[in-house]
């Protein structure tokens, strides 16, 4: 896996102060994407032990609510297995921190991925520039959904998901 940046004390990509891993690689290539530099899976830096320890140093801080995986697309084929391994390690080491995931994929296509067992909140769907609204919470366009993954997975039909609204997630 490769990455472009690790953002510390981020308040825009999930609830509370977070550390954000911006991975390299995205096949969605949404028009007017705010982070097109991350599309190339060969771009950025190799995710190594030093980068992982940088993330853990942030998660060690009591004021950090959790980690957000963004990019690029953490579910791109070049990322998926490494992202899952890192999520498993984060969940084991920091069980009270939340894990958020941003992807251009749809919930219906990914709900059975093994890594979803680690995800608390999913922001899904391709960015659509004509549906952009600066007033949206945690997403860039109105077609995207913010999903409570664990609550959704417990339902009889996980595809009939609870979508979060402002104030639902604490």
What digits encode the pLDDT tens for the residues 6-60? Answer: 999 999 899 999 999 999 988 666 666 567 677 677 889 999 999 999 999 999 9
Task: Please name every residue paired with 163 in a beta bridge, in sequence order, or none if there are none.
Answer: 147
Domain edges within the chain = 2-153
Residue labelled with tokens 């550390």? 19
What digits encode the pLDDT tens for the residues 75-91? Answer: 999 999 999 999 999 99
Give the Cα separation of 102 and 71 in Å (integer). Answer: 8
* CATH fold label, 2-153: TIM Barrel (3.20.20)
- Supply the pTM of this predicted model: 0.87
Q: What is the DSSP letter of 152?
A: H
How are beta strands 45-46 and 18-23 bridged, if at all? unpaired
């Amino acid at each position: 896996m490769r990455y472009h940046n690790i953002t510390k004390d981020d308040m825009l990509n999930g609830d509370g102060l977070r550390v954000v891993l911006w991975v390299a690689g995205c096949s969605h290539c949404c028009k007017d994407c705010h982070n097109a530099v991350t599309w190339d899976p060969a771009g950025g830096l190799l995710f190594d032990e030093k980068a992982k320890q940088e993330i853990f140093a942030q998660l060690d801080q009591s004021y950090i609510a959790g980690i957000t995986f963004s990019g690029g697309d953490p579910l791109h084929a070049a990322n998926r297995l490494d992202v899952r391994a890192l999520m498993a390690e984060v969940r084991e080491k920091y069980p009270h921190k939340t894990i958020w995931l941003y992807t251009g994929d749809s919930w219906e296509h990914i709900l059975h991925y093994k890594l979803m067992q680690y995800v608390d909140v999913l922001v899904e769907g391709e960015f659509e520039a004509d549906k952009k609204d600066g007033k949206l919470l945690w997403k860039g366009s109105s077609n995207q959904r913010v999903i409570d993954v664990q609550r959704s997975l417990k339902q009889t039909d996980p595809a009939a998901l609870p979508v979060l609204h402002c104030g639902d997630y604490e």
